Chains A and B, each alone.
Chain A
Amino acid sequence: DQQVKQNSPSLSVQEGRISILNCDYTNSMFDYFLWYKKYPAEGPTFLISISSIKDKNEDGRFTVFLNKSAKHLSLHIVPSQPGDSAVYFCAASSRETSGSRLTFGEGTQLTVNP
């Protein structure tokens, strides 16, 4: 039962354009969402998060949008840079029922072409 799904295994964009990575979830108890970035042979690194009481959180070039009714979140990167090329994982948590445990999606490989 895949509770967090990233339906696009890969995404390719041109440098300077917007990258939009999508994530869907099924568990309505999830109330905290995070995005992690992973380079090859490294561990995932935290990028940005959003609580279910918000619908948008912005940090520099990165913005996460949350649509609770659709159980959907997205990560926008603008402008995209070649250094953004990595695998991006969406993760979710239900602080009431599962505490600190994160459930991850399968990941989306982003390639930003110069």
Chain B
Amino acid sequence: GAGVSQSPRYKVAKRGQDVALRCDPISGHVSLFWYQQALGQGPEFLTYFQNEAQLDKSGLPSDRFFAERPEGSVSTLKIQRTQQEDSAVYLCASSSTRVTGELFFGEGSRLTVL
């Protein structure tokens, strides 16, 4: 597609369930980012991939969060044993450059943990 695609757009999970959020970046984009946006806040960095290599995962809030990009294209963010504080919009972004530049964001996946 022309833009960054994320699925599902909306996910409701019971506390303790595992969830997986998918991101299809713009074709050919080297860099891929995951951000978490809580209600009324700005996006907060979670993790960064350059091709298939996860170069920075310092923003992941706990070891329940795991991200992968095995073939350097599609990425999955997995949250194990979800907690209520995990409720947020999870944004994926991609970029064609290896240095800071314009990021193209997807529409996000809104996760609600009951």
Task: Write the residues of chain A forming the contact surface with B, with a CB cutoff of 8 angstroms.
Answer: 4, 6, 32, 34, 36, 41-46, 49, 89, 91, 93, 95, 98-107
| Bound form: Cα–Cα A60–B104 in Å | 21
Task: Write the residues of chain B forming the contact surface with A, with a CB cutoff of 8 angstroms.
Answer: 4, 31, 33, 35, 40-45, 48, 55-56, 59, 91, 93, 95, 97-108
Is B102 in contact with A49, judged by CB distance below 8 angstroms?
A: yes
| Bound form: Cα–Cα A42–B108 in Å | 7
| Bound form: Cα–Cα A71–B44 in Å | 21
Contacts of B4 in A (CB 8 A): 43
Given contacts A104-B44, A105-B42, A107-B42, contact A99 B100 (CB under 8 A): yes
Is A102 in contact with B41, judged by CB distance below 8 angstroms?
A: no
Is A100 in contact with B33, judged by CB distance below 8 angstroms?
A: yes
| Bound form: Cα–Cα A34–B33 in Å | 16
Contacts of A98 in B (CB 8 A): 56
Give the nearest-CB partner of B4 in chain A: A43
15 CB contacts below 8 A, A to B, read: A34-B102, A36-B105, A43-B91, A43-B107, A46-B103, A99-B99, A100-B31, A100-B48, A100-B97, A100-B98, A101-B45, A104-B35, A104-B42, A106-B41, A107-B41
